Amino acid sequence: MADSGSNGRTRSLTLDGDEVSFQEGESLYEVARRNRRPVPTLCYDDRLEAFGACRLCVVEIEGMKSPAASCTTEAQPGMVVRTRTEELERQRKILLEMVVSENPAADISPLRGHASQELGQLAEEYGADGSRFQGARSGSSYRGDPNPMILRDYDHCISCYRCVRVCAEQEGDYAISVANRGFQTSITTEFAGRLENSECTFCGQCVQTCPTGALADLRALQSEGEVKDFELTRSICPFCGVGCSVDIMSNDDKIIGVRPAMDGPANEGALCVKGQFSWDWVQHTDRLKTPLVRENGVLVETDWDTALNRAAEGFRKVREQHGRHAIYGIASGRAPHESSYAMQKFIRAGFGTNQIDNCSRA
């Protein structure tokens, strides 16, 4: 991905009248995007092999009878390519109208997932409301899965296969596949059962790539009633040492979800079940909200001054009575550097000893 084509030789073609260069192996879609002539897509995900299913990305190539899907067509020297002719735009609108008529695209909550607005935005951009193709709605919701993380709302499935492909190509899990085509489409697991009884690891990759919200983040949807919009704050997952980049979704000092950062250097858009879904402990009612001190054998709530004075006093006493080597610090491997740095400085600068360790030995 990052280095694709970096060793290819440079060639050129004509794109909407301009001569542009490209690297061997680049698709027409990639060339167009790089030259700020974005072509609309639905079944495309940067991280996946191009699939060529939705045909929204079609472009005209001089000398070819019919338009070609730009995502699956390799750029060739001398090609003359047009991305936005009236005819192409008309075809795209018809395609979108057909899709929308089968799959209600309006009012999909952005809480559902990273790509959940793609269809809705395109439908709006093209003024495709689906009224032209009154007909059966495709798919059906799978309500038999009680897991609290992934909603399977197949009313919205458009058979782009992005979920199936991300699971196979990115996750390497092969947990899901597509059953039936057309109106009966649904994304299914082995034996059509619950996700938890399949190979699924609940990484949420399928949720985040779904362009319609058919697969959706149920943890985030918990806030659907209260929250209209949200902020994204770039951070790093708090669990294992891989250090996946995440975007924390928050609204008015409430964390409402987590999304993978597609440009995160360690994860390139991937997360696991913990990073994706297990954030609800942060604002859990069990959180310690005040300092505590032990009074008559029990821990009682107090203010910072009382607690800090008591804590300092205890260290002072032990230093006086038993010497500075009697004090020991254990720093956290889960807190940021600023915590462990301050811990070791507190022990070293405070007591002149090296009585400090962290939690890596157990």
Partner 1 sequence: MSNPLVDMEKPDVIFCIGTNMTVTHPVAATRLKKAMARGAKLIVADPRNIPLAHKADVHLPLRVGSDTALLGAMAHVIAREGLMDEAFIRDRTEGFETFRKHVEKFTPEWAEGITSVPAADIERAAILYGKAERGAIYYTLGVTEHICGVDNVQSLCNLVLMTGNIGREGTGINPMRGQNNIQGAGDTGALPNNYPGFQPVVDPANQVKFEKAWGTKIDLEKGITKVRALEIAGEEILAMLICGENTVVSDPDRAHCEHALKSLDHLVVIDIFKTETAEIADVVLPASAWGETDGTYTNTERRVQRVRAAVKPQGLARPDWWILAQLATRLGICGFEWNGAREVFDELCKLSPTYYGLDWDLVEEGRHHWPVPQKGHPGTPILHIGEFPRGRGLFMTPEYRDPAETIDDEYPVWLTTGRRLAHYHTRTMTGRAVGSEYLVPEELLEVHPDDVENWGLEDGGDAVLSSRRGAVLIKVCATTQSPRGTVFCSFSFDDVPINALTGSGYDPITDTAELKVCPVRIEPAQTDPVP
Residue 74 is encoded by which pair of tokens? Answer: 């390799």
Which one-letter DSSP state was computed for residue 27? B
- The nearest distance, CB 133 to ligand SF4, in angstroms, is 30
Query: Which of these segments, 36-44, 58-66, 102-110, 145-153, binds partner 1 (CB under 8 A)?
Result: 145-153
CA–CA gap between residue 122 and residue 354 (Å, rounded) = 61
Q: Which does 69 bind (CB under 5 to 8 A by kind): partner 1, ligand SF4, ligand FES, none?
A: ligand FES
CA angle (4, 44, 267) in 5-degree steps: 55
Among residues 86, 107, 253, 320, the one that binds partner 1 under rule CB under 8 A: 253
**126 vs 154, beta carbon nearer ligand SF4:** 154
* Sole window of 4-12, 40-48, 59-67, 79-87 interacting with ligand FES (rule: CB under 6 A): 40-48
Q: Least distance to ligand FES from the beta carbon of 145, Å?
A: 27
Choose, by CB under 6 A, the member of 44, 126, 202, 277 that binds ligand FES.
44
Residue 51 touching partner 1 (CB under 8 A): no
Distance, in Å, from the CA atom of 187 to the CA atom of 114, rounded to the nearest integer, reads 19
The dihedral built from the CA positions of residue 86, 88, 94 and 96, taken in this order, carries a sign that is negative
SS3 40: coil
Among 144, 229, 287, 320, binds partner 1 (CB under 8 A): 287
Rg (alpha carbons) of the chain, rounded to whole number: 27
- Of partner 1, ligand SF4, ligand FES, none, which one sits near residue 20, judging by CB under 5 to 8 A according to partner kind? none
- Tell me the DSSP string of 146-174: --SSEEE-GGG-----HHHHIIIIII---
Report the nearest approach of partner 1 to the CB of residue 256 (Å). 10
Interacting residue with ligand FES among 13, 31, 42, 59 (CB under 6 A): 42
**Residue 44: CB partners within 8 Å, gap ≥ 6?**
29, 50, 51, 54, 57, 71
Q: List residues binding ligand FES (CB under 6 A).
A: 41-44, 52-57, 69, 71
